[in-house]
Amino acid sequence: MTSRARRLVLAVAVLVVLAGRSSAAHAYEVNDSHFHLTNYIQEGTDIRKFLDIMGKRVGRVALFGIPLQQSWSYRVSGELAPTYYLDSDSDLYYYSFTDAFIAMAYKSLSRSQQARFDPMITGFNPTDMYAADHVRRVLKTFPGVFTGIGEFSIHKEFVSSKIAGDVASLEDPALDRLLDFAGEVGLVAIIHNDMHVPFAKPEKARVYFDQMKAVLARHPRTTIIWAHTGLGRIIQPIQGHAALLEEILRDPGMRHVYFDISWTEMAKYVVASPESLAIASGLFERYPDRFLFGTDEVAPKDQSSYLKIYDDYAPLWKALTPETSAKLRLKNYERVFDEGRRKVRAWEAANVH
């Protein structure tokens, strides 16, 4: 069989798999665009147990670990072994083995089980010009596995200043090189970046936003999901938050940009009051193709804890039209990740020998 014929057979096989995945997904309530199988000390839920946790409610999941390891310094915390980045003042550091761990967990599953996951590459340092080379190496080592990169962080409250080495920046050429490569391959990129500095005054509210907007504009070929719409624990919605998002959403040059509404903190802001719910649901109705539900759960132990955020969003699902609700919960995931998967498999067919 010629190499061209092999690529054609692979392309047909991918389309058949994707068709099966999309039709099966609608038997479920929701897809999850943002899930961490492991935590900050690289421990987590067994992937087969997680399939049981997903059960009959969750169809497909974007699967990743956490790219950072919390170090345990006996000098700092003694016998108290930290399991979270707020448990210790010790450094965080980039943990590249997470990608091999996720790949092997995925490869341990049957083909039908694999169809419910879209693994993501996270074990790179976004301040390193070699970050793109790490991603290329992972794709060549584990072809047929990964769909995207992320979630990875640039500006993140409490976290950025703890990471050993250079501080990540939206103006770093290493980030541009990474996103250029993601666009070349077709990888979906999930980025955590705070929309503004902590406790921002109005005159400082656009600093990170404007830098992020410039990054998005520089990479029109790369599908980018901005995690949590730029919010955090103390990075709360400022007056005009929805209007800032709409600057991107209404720009025809930003059609490659999406937002996920993952994390319980995000849900808290949306359903806090009738006013906040009306603002959020109005934005989602105007741009129903640009938002994806995600949990941002980390190594859950059972379904009730895993789907707490989904249940917290009950007022939102009720406020949305059925069509918009279905897009946020199911269809946008399928469209974005199916396209990413198709492009990555095509790149692998041409570049992995």
Domain ranges in the chain are: 3-351
* % of the chain beyond a pLDDT of 70: 91
The three-state DSSP-derived secondary structure of 156-223 is: CCCCHHHECCCCCCCCCHHHHHHHHHHHHHCCEEEEECCCCCCCCCHHHCCHHHHHHHHHHHHCCCCC
- What pLDDT score does 16 carry? 44
pLDDT at position 47: 98
- Fold of the domain built from segment(s) 3-351: TIM Barrel (3.20.20)
Please give the Cα distance from 251 to 246 (Å, whole number): 8
Cβ-in-10-Å burial (0-12, 13-18, 19+) of 350 comes to: exposed
Dihedral of alpha carbons 85, 91, 93, 98, sign: negative
302 versus 239: which is more confidently predicted?
302
Q: Quick one: pLDDT band at residue 113, thresholds 50, 70, 90?
A: very high
pLDDT tens digit sequence for 48-72: 999 999 999 999 999 999 999 998 9
Please check whether residue 310 is in contact with residue 293, taking contact to mean a CB–CB distance below 8 angstroms: yes
Rounded mean pLDDT of the chain? 92
Rounded to whole angstroms, the maximal C-alpha distance in the chain is 64
Query: Confidence band (pLDDT; 50, 70, 90) for 161?
Result: confident
The pLDDT, as a whole number, for residue 4 is 54
Among 175, 262, 187, 258, smallest CA distance to 211 is for 175
pLDDT of res. 228: 97
The better pLDDT of the pair 71, 120 is held by 120
